Each structure stands twice: as structure tokens, then as C-alpha cells.
Chains A and B, each alone.
Chain A
Amino acid sequence: MAEAKSDRRGANATLLPVELLRGLTSAVDEVFATMISTLGLGTKLGDPCLLEPARDASPKVAEVGQAIHVEARVHIEGPLRGWISLSCTAQAAGDLARGLLRLHSTEVLTKAEVEDALGECANMIAGVMKTGMLDPRGSYTISTPRFRNGDDQRDCPRGTLAYRLCAGTLNAELWLDQRPDGA
């Protein structure tokens, strides 16, 4: 089921303009580098086992997407409309949450805590993109983080960045919704 969904995304979705993908890359870098440094983990982007950009610049979407269990989205409204999404396996999301909260790897977190951490990361990435890339080009608003419930993938232009964590892959994506009503 998940593979079929991923295949559809890979086959039909068109890619984002390079400039937007660069903006997303820069926002992800800034958020994780700053927050990880803030938390005193002594690790930076690119270090093994944390947020290593996947070697394959165009990750095989079916492979990356098949184990996605947690996804946080922040919607963007303005001259461009769409959403920024962070998605990963439940285990990877747990690792990310423990990293942000500086908890030991054996600490157990609730689903709500894990979703909240992923949502906050998505929120910060959206905020950095809005400030640095979108606001200079128009009036934009961003939503509070939401969590995906069910399969509502669309054939929209999108860009995907894949980062390797200890326990899987984190996908950072920007989707553009081209429907007039955005519904």
C-alpha cells in the first residue's frame, strides 16, 4: 500500500524550482545545526548518525516512503500555496525528539511528544523559509503544525530532501498546491 502510494508520488509529481529547494535545504540546515548546537550535543549537520544528507540526491521515493509513520506539516498561504512536511518512521521521529529534548536513547516518549517535536521542527523550518525566501516575494502566513491522517498525497510539484538518522531516514519536503481553492 505504502509502496503504491510512493510510486504514484514518484511517477507523477513534478519537481520544484531549484531556488525553492535550495531555500528548503538552507532552512533545514539552519534549524538542525542551531538547535543541535543549542542543546550541546556536540554534533553538527553531516556528522554520522544524526542528520547526514542522504548520498543519493534523488532518493528512491518508494524506498524512503514505505516506512513513513509520522508526518508533520505546516501549511503556507500566499502567492504560493502548499506545505512543508517532515516525515519519518516512528523510531526515527523518536530519536529526533530525544535529540531535541536531550534525552537518553532509552527514554520512552509518548506519540504526542514525538509528534510535537517533529511538528516544532517543521514549524521552525517553515518559519525560516518564510522569513528568508517567501516574505521578500509577497505576503505569506504559515499554519500551526498538523499531522497527516491518511493518504492525501497529490500530484503537486514537490521537492524532497532525505537525511539519514540513526534509525532511518527523515524526509523534508516542500509541496506546492496549485488548485485554485487549495482544498
Chain B
Amino acid sequence: MPLKKVLIVDDSTTMRKIIARVLRQADIAVEHVLEASNGVEGLERLASDPDIQLVLSDVNMPSMDGLAFVRAVREKLTKERMPMIMVTTEGGKQMLQAALDSGANGYVTKPFNSDTMRGALEEYLG
């Protein structure tokens, strides 16, 4: 059962394309991949599209960083059950704990490969 829509939030267009490609390489079926370049855009996307089933978000972004974005999704959009995975360059315990504390369900540290991505998303796939 493919995921209907996945939202990738990252200020790097390169990384958004890489994540979309890695999803395909990991055999994660997605009907539509949507993109946003920061947390503010991500919130707008999520508020206007109820079909988004999974969010992959960078942490270090301008305008609204990934941690603030996840908190806002949980609090303002009241999407408590939306699976949100942080994709971060910072793999230290403190950052990963901060991601979980903000409301993220898990994380993938960059650089990553398709196995890493699949492992992080396994429980959210149909």
C-alpha cells in the first residue's frame, strides 16, 4: 500500500531531490512527494493538504528550524499522530534527544543510505 503523500522539508533543493530518490531506492512507494524549503512553508503545506501521511524534515533551516516546525505541527495543527522523521546532519545524543522532545517520531542522520532510510521509516509503511 503506497503512501499517498510525503512532505520533505529541507532548505536544500539538492537534499530534497536526494531524499526523494532514496525513498525510491529503498522501495518505499509514494504516490506524491511534496516539498517545502523551511518550517513555515511546511506548516502551510500541512495545513492545506490532509492527504500528507509522512513528513521528513531537516533540522537546521532558516525562517523556522525543524524542531520549531515539529512542535508547531503538534501544537498548532494538532496533528499528534502525523509521523515526522528528522533528517539531520547532527547525530549527537543531545540533538537527537531534542528532536524526540520536540515531537519527532525518529531521525535519520546525514549522510544516509537507502537502508538507513528504510529502517527509520519501517514502522510507518503500509
Q: Is the CB of A142 within 8 A of B90?
A: yes
Check if B60 is an interface residue, CB within 8 A of chain A: yes
The A/B interface has a contact count, at CB < 8 Å, of 73
Which of chain B's residues have a CB closer than 8 A to the CB of A145?
A: 12
By size class, the interface of chain B is: 20 to 34
Question: A interface, by DSSP: helix, strand, loop or mixed?
Answer: helix
Q: Which of B92, B94, B112 contacts A38 (CB 8 A)?
A: B112
Which of chain A's residues have a CB closer than 8 A to the CB of B25?
A: 38, 40
Check if A167 is an interface residue, CB within 8 A of chain B: no
Interface stretch, picked from B16-24, B49-57, B67-75, is B16-24
Which of chain B's residues have a CB closer than 8 A to the CB of A101?
A: 14, 17-18
Q: Is the CB of B18 within 8 A of A30?
A: no
Which of chain B's residues have a CB closer than 8 A to the CB of A142?
A: 60, 89-90
Which of chain B's residues have a CB closer than 8 A to the CB of A144?
A: 11, 60-62
Residues of A within 8 A of B (CB): 30-31, 34-35, 37-40, 97, 100-102, 112-113, 116-117, 119-120, 123-124, 126-128, 130-131, 135, 142, 144-145
Extra inter-chain contacts (11) besides given A123-B60, A130-B92, CB under 8 Å: A35-B18, A38-B113, A112-B13, A120-B12, A120-B14, A127-B89, A128-B111, A131-B90, A142-B60, A144-B62, A145-B12
Residues of B within 8 A of A (CB): 11-15, 17-18, 21-22, 25, 60-62, 88-92, 94-95, 109-114
Can you show 13 pairs from A to B with CB atoms below 8 A apart?
A31-B110, A31-B111, A38-B112, A40-B25, A100-B18, A102-B21, A120-B14, A123-B110, A127-B88, A128-B91, A131-B91, A131-B109, A135-B94
6 tightest A-B CB contacts, nearest first: A127-B89, A34-B111, A131-B91, A38-B113, A135-B92, A117-B14
